[in-house]
Amino acid sequence: MAEAVRTVALTKRYGPTRAVEDLDLAIDAGEVYGFLGPNGAGKTTTIRCLLGLHRPTSGRATLFGIDAWRDPVAAHRRVAYIAGEPSLWPSLTTAETLEFLGRVFGGVDIEYRARLLERFQIEPDKKVRALSKGNRQKIQLVHAFSTRADLLILDEPTSGLDPLMEVAFRETVNEAKSNGQAVFLSSHILSEVEALCDRVGILRAGRLVDEGTLESLRHLHAQTIDVTFDGTRPSLNGVEGATSVPLGANGLRFQVTGPVGPLLRRLASENVTALEAREPSLEEIFLRHYGTADDGSG
């Protein structure tokens, strides 16, 4: 079976601006993929190319093996999309909007939709024009999930949602996941991605700079080891794969890349009173990619 999402050397330029550069993505059916990047990194552009709303300058983008630029209708039959900025028809009510979107999609799971309406606490008779951004976002969410589409493309779906609705959203994504639906979750909310995604890709200035499971990403990146000594801290320079900075009066914080054995062997001869090791959070991984320069815009 073809992958849910596949891009090969996908590149999109707007005049001189390079929005997406040489992007290779492969997301399997049933996989939940987190697409991370700050504002302007090229996340939305990637999605617009995937959906065939914008034409790739070069390279290819397919959904379940179908090029959405060439044949959008066929490609979209198995895909539901939530835009970051909910753009709906102001004079329609919520119920009317859902009815329309569902009909054009070609039928939705009515029972599930009713449950979602309740879960997201939606008033069906309110007109879209009278709704806040978060409430408009909820209409999109209910529609997208009620399609039971094989692939959900979500572009910052929780911007505008309150914490209660954020919980409802995570519950719904997990339901989709256990249903075997694939989810492409573009976000800059790291906790959300960390909680939901099997695999993560980090986009910077239109290029994919890191990709893998959370486990493998953590493994590849430095661990943080805080060590407290009895008395003054010793000088521990030149340990293979480790750098240190002072921590408090008598401690050191090590960043260790690769195996921790050499450091442990050196520490064995010191008066260590406490040792705490932790893997990097997604936030630390993310910030490391962006920490050095601020040219992430584009």
Partner 1 sequence: MTAAARALARRVVADGRTRTVSFAALFLLVTWVNAAGYRSTYPNINDRLRLVQTFGNNKAARMFYGAGRNLTTVGGYTAWRAGGILVVFAALLGIFAATRPMRGDEEAGRTEIVLAGRLTRNTEFAAILAGTGVGLTVAFVATALGAVFASLPLRPSLYLGLVVFSVGAVYVGVAAAANQLAPTRRGALGLASAVLGVDFLIRVVADTTDHFGLHWLTPLGWAEETRAFSGSSAFVLVLPLAATAILLAAATMLHARRDLGAAYLPARDSAPPRTRLLVTPATLALRLDRVVVATWTGVILAFALVVGSIAKTVEDIDLPESARNQIAKLGGIDITKASGYIGLTFVIFVFAITLFVCGQLAAAHDEETEHRLETLFALPFGRDPWMRGRALLALGGIASCALAAGIGVWAGAVASRAHLSFVDGMRASVNVLPTAILFLGLGLALFATFPRRAISLLYALVVASFVWELFGALLDVPSWALDLSPFHHVAPVPAKPIDIASALVMLAIGAIAGAIGTVRFRARDLAGD
Q: Where along the sequence are the contacts to partner 1 (CB under 8 A)?
A: 44, 48, 51-55, 72-74, 76-77, 79, 81, 83, 85, 87-89, 91-93, 95-96, 99-101, 103-106, 123-127, 129-130, 140, 153
Name which of 76 and 113 has its Cβ closer to partner 1: 76
Phi/psi for 24 (5° steps) reads: -115, 120
CB of 149 to partner 1, least distance (A): 10
SS3 call for 222: coil
Name which of 93 and 158 has its Cβ closer to partner 1: 93
CB of 52 to partner 1, least distance (A): 8
Instruction: Quote the Cα angle for 13-15-19, to 5°.
Output: 30
Name which of 95 and 189 has its Cβ closer to partner 1: 95
Name which of 130 and 195 has its Cβ closer to partner 1: 130
Name which of 153 and 242 has its Cβ closer to partner 1: 153
Give dist(CA 205, CA 296) in Å, integer: 5
Name which of 5 and 51 has its Cβ closer to partner 1: 51
CA 129 to chain centre: 29
Task: Give the closest residue to 43 by CA, choosing from 20, 14, 13, 11.
Answer: 20
CB of 38 to partner 1, least distance (A): 17
CB of 87 to partner 1, least distance (A): 4
Number of Cβ atoms within 10 Å of the Cβ of 275: 13
SS3 call for 141: helix
Give dist(CA 218, CA 240) in Å, integer: 19
Give dist(CA 140, CA 81) in Å, integer: 8
Give dist(CA 117, CA 95) in Å, integer: 10
Phi/psi for 214 (5° steps) reads: -60, -40
Give dist(CA 259, CA 282) in Å, integer: 20
CB of 234 to partner 1, least distance (A): 56
**DSSP state at residue 84:** S
CB of 81 to partner 1, least distance (A): 4
Give dist(CA 70, CA 81) in Å, integer: 18
Name which of 77 and 148 has its Cβ closer to partner 1: 77
CB of 148 to partner 1, least distance (A): 14
Residue with tokens 């911007």: 159
CB of 89 to partner 1, least distance (A): 6
50 near 87, Cβ under 8 Å? no
Name which of 54 and 233 has its Cβ closer to partner 1: 54
